[in-house]
Amino acid sequence: MSAPTGPDLRDIHLPPAPSWWPPAPGWWLLALVLLIAVAFGVRMLLRQWRERRWRLRVAAELDRIAAMHAAQPDAVRLAADVSQLLRRASLLIEPNAAALQGDAWLVFLDSRFDDASGKKSRDEGPRDQARFRTDTGRALIDAPYRRAEDPAAPVDAAALIGLARDWLKRALPRRRSHV
């Protein structure tokens, strides 16, 4: 006789392993946050790249003006070209700045030196505070309207180009949406 057999019992079955897809809601949220962070980072890098490229173009334009003056010295043309370049660049700072005339234009240019360097130091003399209102900077408003043979027309080209270069480095806004 054979031993009585009981009911056919099966072993315990474990549930199937969870699938990796679709991810849990927390993973979706993390992916969204990472996507936003990457998009923001790419946007900031692109903005910096454009700003750097724009600054290089402005510097190259000033170098071109200086080279043109070195090849064919013309103080009147130099002053006019530098003034035009500064006016175009100043549109990023203040849209109405390019329309300023005379001493108001020079005061605006000087004020950007003060804004870029923070507060004025007590050691600065009046000549340091009025970089464009001095003889060199004043050529921007005087020289373009004089004849080249006028004895008052000569401009210290190296000083004017250096002043413009310094202004462009210090006064132009950084990380602005206009650039």
* pLDDT one-digit tens code per residue, 1-39: 566 666 788 888 899 888 888 999 999 999 999 999 999
pLDDT computed for residue 127 by the predictor: 45
Contact between residue 160 and residue 102 where contact means Cβ atoms under 8 Å apart: no
pLDDT computed for residue 62 by the predictor: 95
* pLDDT one-digit tens code per residue, 138-162: 888 887 777 766 666 577 889 999 9
What CA–CA distance (Å, rounded) separates 142 from 135?
Answer: 10
Query: Per the confidence metrics, is the pTM higher than 0.75?
Result: no
Give 74's Cβ-side CA count (13 Å radius): 14
Q: Does residue 112 or residue 67 have the better pLDDT?
A: 67
pLDDT at position 87 over 70: yes
Give the amino acid at 101.
Q
Q: How confident is the model at residue 94 (pLDDT cuts 50, 70, 90)?
A: confident
Contact between residue 63 and residue 142 where contact means Cβ atoms under 8 Å apart: no
Q: Does residue 4 or residue 113 have the better pLDDT?
A: 113
What CA–CA distance (Å, rounded) separates 117 from 120?
Answer: 7
Please compute the mean of the pLDDT values over residues 38-54 and round it to a whole number.
94
Q: How confident is the model at residue 129 (pLDDT cuts 50, 70, 90)?
A: low
Going by C-alpha positions, the residue among 170, 174, 58, 159 that lies closest to residue 114 is 170
Distance of CA 107 to the CA centre of its chain: 22
How does DSSP assign 10-70, residue by residue?
PPPPPPPPPPSSSPPHHHHHHHHHHHHHHHHHHHHHHHHHHHHHHHHHHHHHHHHHHHHHH
* Structure token digits, residue 88: 């175009």
